[in-house]
Amino acid sequence: MNSHTKSRLQRFSEKSARKEQEDRVRDLSQRLRLPFAEHVAEYTRKDLDATEGFLRYLLMLESEPTSTLARQLLGRGIELPEPDSLDEPGVSRKLDEVIEGLAGLRTYLVHTDHLSDRELYERLWTETLNEDEYEFDEGMGQYQTTIDLIEDGSLESMEIYHRFYANELDRRSWNREHPGHVVPGVEPAPYDRDRHLPKPGF
């Protein structure tokens, strides 16, 4: 096969792949009732990749979550032993492994400095990792999830926030909005973990 024939076959293959991608974008946008299909033939390849990923992401969000973070970590070869089966050095090593594994899933933890390694691992193991979760893939483009360990809105979480994490502006704002509630005094967090945790890339 000469170089001219190879070049022609390559152009044909690229044209066919583009046509298939344009068809996928049209199908996704029609299923979502969005106007992305109107000018799809004018999109650059980069536009097509980004649009297809975004539409797949939106379509996934219209369905029910089909996974958990625990299942996804196990699928990556990260074992999740019961907290009581680990000694203190073991629970710290396992927590580090889980945190790195979550970062690989673009999932990041915040507000963990009030919890010991064991308390945090137990919280993740018993609750967070087993909650229903979507399973993303790289083709959906950039995304990230932040898990805030005091985001449940409870009075206990608010007290933890103001004791260990809030700045003075936050504390004054809370005082104005909740004049009948006594804000706890500021204390240094018992652990120094948050600043060492993996951070989102964007």
Give the mean pLDDT of the chain: 84
Least confident range from 46-60, 62-76, 119-133, 183-197: namely 46-60
- Please report where in the chains the tokens 């369905």 appear, as a residue: 63
CB 60, CB 134: distance < 8 Å? yes
With a threshold of 0.85, does the pTM exceed it? no
| pLDDT tens for each residue of 111-129 | 999 999 999 999 999 999 9
Domain map (residue ranges) of the chain: 3-61, 68-196
Q: What pLDDT was estimated at residue 4? A: 55
CA torsion, ordered 165, 99, 80, 88, to nearest 10 deg: -60
* Short-list 13, 94, 24, 83, CA closest to 55: 24
